[in-house]
Amino acid sequence: MDIGFIGLGNMGAHMARRLLEAGHRVVVYDTRQEAIGDLAARGAIAARSPAEVADAAETVMASLPTPDVVLKVATGPDGVIEGKRVRRFVDLSTTGAMMAQRIFKLLSARGVVQIDSPVSGGVRGAEKGTLAVMVSGPLAEIAAIEPALAVIGKIFILGERPGAGQTMKLVNNVLSATAMTATAEAMVTGMKAGLDPRLMLDVINAGTGRNTATEDKFAKAVLPGTFDLGFTAGLMMKDVNLFLAEREALGVPTDVIDAVARLLKLTCDEVGPDADISAVVQPVEKRAGVKVRAP
């Protein structure tokens, strides 16, 4: 299958590589020439713009950082919408349902189908092809690209409504953010009380408090102080804010997630939006006067 791929960052580069290794002809574009070069060295075809990608492939995938960037790449000048060959735009990014619906309408006016396909599983999942792929859109169009999506992860079809995949992704990500922020506060509290951090994780993971942060993220990135999970606090803040906008439109109370958003904002303000999401523990440590570290 001829596939265009736009956005070769931490996640996108691995997904594009897996498509190449599966035997697909992949046309790539990124704003960074070195990212294009890395994939071209593996056999990808380099393009000079999103429109040029969409001239070369019926299916164009995108893995991009923010909703505004997705909108520009999909529908802006020299964007996918101007491509001569493109039939479907597969958005692997996290944009929220409202932006997905907006892009769907703009593209459909030009005969291009948008398929929402946000992914979860982090850089490791992208590298190994074990992502959760949350898909919504016309079922016949989804069926046409299922073999390609199966290369990057496990497919979950959420229906035909534009934005359904995006809503599912936001539900997932706010739970991930909640696990990370709650674990940060709990671990700092235990540390200040004199508990050993590795023993705390062992006990939690043998009991009912275990979650994705205790099972993997804290031991990998917080205890050794590397803070290198590969997803920034700023991007998680973006996802949580998208969720809060959607729940407001739906009229759902979310007091717990409001508190998660406050700690994420504090992290972005004090440590920086480009800091790793695991750095969410640092503002809590600062105020408590202890650090959750173990050699």
Fold of 167-288: N-(1-d-carboxylethyl)-l-norvaline Dehydrogenase; domain 2 (1.10.1040)
94-148 residue pLDDT tens:
999 999 999 999 999 999 999 999 999 999 999 999 999 999 999 999 999 999 9
Catalytic residue (one of 84, 169, 238, 265):
169
| Contact partners, residue 167, CB within 8 Å, separation at least 6 | 97, 246
Catalytic (active site) residue 265: no
Mean pLDDT for the stretch of residues 199-223: 97
Q: Do 8 and 16 form a contact (C-beta atoms < 8 A)?
A: yes
Query: What are the structure tokens assigned to 98, written together?
Result: 């409202």
To the nearest whole percent, how much of the chain has pLDDT over 70?
100
CA–CA gap between residue 247 and residue 11 (Å, rounded): 27
Q: Fill in the amino acid letter for 84.
A: K
Identify the pLDDT of residue 290. 98
Length of the chain in terms of residues written: 295
Q: Do 240 and 177 form a contact (C-beta atoms < 8 A)?
A: yes
Confidence check: pLDDT of 295 > 90: no
HSE at residue 257, side-chain half, CA atoms within 13 A, is 23
CA–CA gap between residue 132 and residue 117 (Å, rounded): 10
Q: How far does Cα 197 stand from its chain's mean position?
A: 29
Place of tokens 């960037």: 69
Residue 45: CB atoms within 10 Å: 18
- For the entire predicted model, the pTM comes to 0.94
224-267 residue pLDDT tens:
999 999 999 999 999 999 999 999 999 999 999 999 999 999 99
Spans of all domains in the chain: 2-161, 167-288
Confidence check: pLDDT of 12 > 90: yes
Mean pLDDT for the stretch of residues 13-40: 98
Domain 2-161: give its CATH superfamily: NAD(P)-binding Rossmann-like Domain (3.40.50.720)
